[in-house]
Amino acid sequence: MSANPTSAIAIPQSAASIWRTVLGRVLRNPLGIFGLAIVALAILAALFAPQIAPYDPYQQILAERLRGPSPAHLMGQDDLGRDILSRALFGTRVSLAVGFITIAISALAGMLVGAIAGYFGGWVDEILMRLTDILLAFPGILLAIAIMAILEPSFNNVLIALCIVGWKGYARLVRGEVLKEKEKEYVQAARALGYSRTRIIVFHLLPNTLNPVFVMATLGIAGMIISEAGLSFLGLGTQPPTPSWGGMLSDGTNYFWEAPHMTIFPGLAIMILVLGFSFLGDALRDALDPHIKYYSES
Amino acid sequence: MADHPASSPILEVSGLHKRFPLDQKLIGAPKHFIYAVNGVSLQLRPGRTVGLVGESGCGKSTVGKLICGLETPDVGQIRFRGEEVSRYSSAEKMAYHRRVQIIFQNPYTSLNPRQRAGRMLGEIFRVHRLCAPAEIEKRVSDILEAVGLPPESRQRYPFEFSGGQRQRLCIARALTVQPEAIVCDEPVSALDVSIQAQILRLLKKLQKEYNLAYLFISHDLSVVYHVCDEVLIMYLGRIVEHGPVERIFKNPAHPYTKALLSAVPIPDPQSGRKRIILSGEIPSPTRIPPGCPFFSRCSQRMEVCENSPPPMRQVGPGQETHCWLYE
């Protein structure tokens, strides 16, 4: 099977077994284990926040405001006396939801735009790609801030802003992949069978661009989480009192010298989760690298 | 074989031209072209195989693609059962895709790596509504059996097949719509010699069973000799000689055909045959010479060849050549 090494990974024995192989490779990489563990823990924390959180994240105890970490409140309390650990656990929900939803939407949108541009070429390609170039020229977070300034700050609008900023990279990536794939004979054969363009793009071209998109998406979640935290920090994102890491960080800046724990813990949470996704993405990229023959391993 | 009474052609190609722009810009017409096909005519008949031979880059694959509707000709006609293909409505085009199919050279890139064999074939039945949905599974098994693959292969991805099996699968794909003509674009060039024979036998068997017309594109003359009834020799987008396979191989008329044939290995060191080694450059397909395309490399060139295109002359029963030598 060495005739076509580039498609070695794209040709699974079965869907289940390729993911088992990829997972096995990720787990052979120490950073991969680390990343996967963090992401898994974060997902568990988000799902079971109400069960795990020691306190109600909204419950204010003004008498205990700005108290540092103690056995009762492991991460201390904020300026309204709320338990920071509980708020951080609930904040995981916002971060993960934003990360997953925006990446899913922007990856899908980008894939569609990229596939159309790559498959049709000519004018369509020119227009779509100049549009993505324009978006690529803006610093993403700046554009997101501008969009949020136009829309009103809310969770849904954060999603919209981040998706508008997020799809362009996928469009570029998928366009390149489609340009490469569409010359292959299986696409010609599909055309010779009279298949519609929609069918060829959706069922034949797009599935064959999934691997790089998957890696880019895993790495991209980290970026989306940072962007959401940034927007919330600026007061443009998730609105109080909903606990979000960016918002908590923002609250903490007013009391940085008196209560550094208000800033440190949400900051750590962001850092660790982002690291987790980055490590997982790196490990996935290595695991999906077509130049490493996956079938030669057990 | 040349004496078979010729049945009426199902597919007729005449005066086909195709050029590809080299400097396609958004605005303004392109100025430079690759002239891939410059006036090719041929006919395909049921149960008969026409060989299209030439070196790489001579435009033979483009002819195949034009016939299958993968490219549209700039000039010239493709007629299927007397009907002009370019005038077809979209429903008629769909029907044409069922009548004329193609098999590609590289079995490693001609199957979608993410599609199981069964799904790939099932998709054809569904898109073309060839049978009731409940029947699809059985029909897929039938097709797989017809090309010599076990029914279990429906569960497998292309990666799990060998090169020969993949080519069988490609043949199955082309066969599913029950075509009348199949363009075989170098169907065995990428395979081991032992596998080549199997695939060629399969193609022969299917031809007999379904009375298929084949256009067999190849650069391998010994394969062409064994499978074809008729041969067209192509050079720089033009047919330089054509005729029944026996005639062309025994009495080649065109200097290019002679040179090609002299390059076929014969397993006999005493055969005493002299190889004709071509010298000179192949003209660039971006600038087709005004006279004979073979002028720059021909060992028997004359003054007239440089600027005047050679006329077509009959040199034997059914054998015609474009060469000034036979004037």
* Tens-digit pLDDT string for chain B (327 aa): 444 455 789 999 999 999 998 877 777 788 889 999 999 999 999 999 999 998 888 889 999 999 999 999 999 999 999 999 999 999 999 999 999 999 999 888 999 988 899 999 999 999 999 989 899 999 999 999 999 999 989 988 888 898 899 999 999 999 999 999 999 999 998 888 889 999 999 999 999 999 999 999 998 898 999 999 999 999 999 999 999 999 999 999 999 999 888 887 777 767 666 777 777 778 888 888 888 888 888 888 888 888 888 888 898 888 999 989 887
Mutation target vs A (from B24, B159, B169; most A CBs, 10 A cutoff): B159
In order, the DSSP letters of B294-312 are TGGG-TT--HHHHHSPPPE
Which residue, A216, A220, A191, A202, is CA-closest to A112? A202
Which homologous superfamily does the CATH classification assign to the domain defined by A23-49+76-296?
MetI-like (1.10.3720.10)
Q: Is B105 on the interface with A (CB under 8 A)?
A: yes
Q: Is B115 on the interface with A (CB under 8 A)?
A: yes
**B207 found inside a domain:** no
Q: Which residues of A touch B110 (CB under 8 A)?
A: 184-186, 188-189
ipTM for the whole complex? 0.89
Which residue, B111, B126, B208, is CA-closest to B168? B111
Is the pTM higher than 0.90? The answer reads no
Mutation target vs B (from A185, A187, A196, A205; most B CBs, 10 A cutoff): A185
For residue A192, CA distances in Å to A200, B66, B166, B294 come to 11, 10, 18, 33
The label of the residue with tokens 């050549």 reads B321
Percent of chain A with pLDDT over 90: 48
pLDDT of residue B62: 94
How is residue A48 written in tokens? 């079971």
What is the distance in angstroms between the Cα of A218 and the nearest Cα belonging to chain B?
Answer: 21
**Contact between chains at A11 and B110 (C-beta distance less than 8 A):** no
Strand order in the sheet with B319-322: B100-103, B181-185, B213-218, B49-53, B230-235, B238-244, B319-322, B312-316
pLDDT digits 0-9 by tens, A158-186 = 999 999 999 999 999 999 999 999 989 99
How is residue A122 written in tokens? 């000519």
**B65 found inside a domain:** no
What is the distance in angstroms between the Cα of A69 and the nearest Cα belonging to chain B?
Answer: 53
Cα B87–chain centre separation = 23
pLDDT of residue B16: 93
Band (pLDDT 50/70/90 cuts) for residue A5 is: very low
**Contact between chains at B102 and A12 (C-beta distance less than 8 A):** no
pLDDT of residue A14: 56
In order, the DSSP letters of A69-132 are --SSSTT-B-TT--BHHHHHHHHHHHHHHHHHHHHHHHHHHHHHHHHHHHHH-HHHHHHHHHHH
Averaged pLDDT for residues A109-130: 93
Number of domains in chain B: 1
Q: Is B163 on the interface with A (CB under 8 A)?
A: yes
**B261 found inside a domain:** yes
**Contact between chains at B110 and A185 (C-beta distance less than 8 A):** yes
Structural domain for B300, as ranges? 252-327
| Cα distance between residue A117 and residue A137, in whole Å | 19
Q: Which residues of B touch A13 (CB under 8 A)?
A: 157, 159-160
**B247 found inside a domain:** no
